Amino acid sequence: DKYHAVLAENRRLHNEVQELKGNIRVYCRIRPFLPGEDRKNTSIESVGDDGELIIANPTKPGKDGNKTFIFNRVFGPVTTQEQVFLDIQPLVRSVLDGFNVCIFAYGQTGSGKTYTMSGPNSPTEKDWGVNYRALNDLFNISRERKQVIDYEVGVQMIEIYNEQVRDLLSTDGVQKKLGIVNTSQPSGLAVPDATMQKVQSTSDVIDLMNLGFSNRAMSSTALNERSSRSHSILTVHVTGLDKKTKSTLRGSLHLVDLAGSERVDRSEVIGDRLKEAQHINKSLSALGDVIFALAQKNSHVPYRNSKLTQVLQTSLGGQAKTLMFVQVNPDASSYSETLSTLKFAERVSSVELGAAKNNK
């Protein structure tokens, strides 16, 4: 019957998720050249099917200048949004079984972070990024299971700018500054005062995200600049009531579009720009340190060093699952940023996060 079909599907999914091993997975995605960019000058030497990426140093042509990296996957420039999503679908679905999942996009400004997470501006369905596809999929599966489990989905959207947390879903036009709760509950709310909106369909989500994007713009004098200097976090909270056993499960999905990772030349910026750059530096290296400490199974994990890692504390490590998209601009002029991006990725990917267990 339906109940057993759902259980079987759960088991299949569970096995698939076990294969993800609870490690941090690192997927590198290379964006295509954009119209007007010079395709001849690229730092991408080759993209293998097996997760191998070779980059070429433009100032040191020939094999000697090449560097090889290995990730869980490398998506070349022609990879579609759909192909990317198919790869992460089991991970996203595990949220409905009570897992906490965190998906990041890391890279320099202009490398495709927002494209991967959300899509281009006002995307058509074909161009939808991870966040629309993930929510769409969660709604589809929860409808399929509705005889067995009653799911409720709530969404929060916040921004971290200069180490201050702001609510992006408030409707009163005021962007409250928010506090973070140090919760030990795996599914407790780290930012309880951020607006939580119940959503029932993908179109609800699209409306909310548009509100979030416009709130982000409103607080900014120059939209593009601001959005690359803040982290935005869309959190999907799922509660499922099993109709037969009356037990409740909770899962969460954090979709994080990180601030641009480019290093800023300190001699060239002053005032606000310098402050922003320092905050971004601090929080991205804090994130790297946390993931590294978890992977090394260190007894001390330095969550307290940034707002970003405090907000995500309960969703990193333990039974949570982490995936990082490392975004690369193919242009040779970005070579040194690309190299430092890939080195960051290599550091966080070389080792495992805590083993995944089904916490039902």
Residue 312 buriedness (CB in 10 A; 0-12 / 13-18 / 19+): buried
What gap in Å lies between CA 303 and CA 177, rounded to an integer?
20
The position carrying tokens 């959207």 is 157
- What is the sign of the dihedral through the CA atoms of 128, 313, 294 and 288? positive
Q: Closest CB to ligand ADP among 228 and 283?
A: 228
What gap in Å lies between CA 8 and CA 45, rounded to an integer?
44
Q: Closest CB to ligand ADP among 117 and 295?
A: 117
x/- map, 214-233, ligand ADP, by CB under 6 A: --------------x-----
120 lies in the site for ligand ADP, by CB under 6 A: yes
Which helix (H) or strand (E) is 327 found in, with range? strand 321-328
Q: Which one of 2, 7, 8, 32 is in contact with ligand ADP (CB under 6 A)?
A: 32
Q: How far is CA 117 from CA 57, 97, 111, 127, 144, in A?
A: 29, 22, 12, 11, 25
Q: Is 178 helix (H, G, I), strand (E, B) or coil?
A: strand
Q: Is 36 annotated as a binding residue?
A: no
98 lies in the site for ligand ADP, by CB under 6 A: no
237: which DSSP letter? E
Q: Closest CB to ligand ADP among 190 and 326?
A: 326
112 lies in the site for ligand ADP, by CB under 6 A: yes
142 lies in the site for ligand ADP, by CB under 6 A: no
31 lies in the site for ligand ADP, by CB under 6 A: yes
The answer to whether residues 316 and 290 touch, using CB atoms and an 8 Å cutoff, is yes
Q: Closest CB to ligand ADP among 36 and 271?
A: 36
Q: Closest CB to ligand ADP among 201 and 210?
A: 210
How many residues of this chain bind ligand ADP (CB under 6 A)?
14
192 lies in the site for ligand ADP, by CB under 6 A: no
Binding-site residues: 107-114
Binding footprint of ligand ADP on the chain (CB under 6 A): 31-32, 34, 107, 109-115, 120, 228, 327
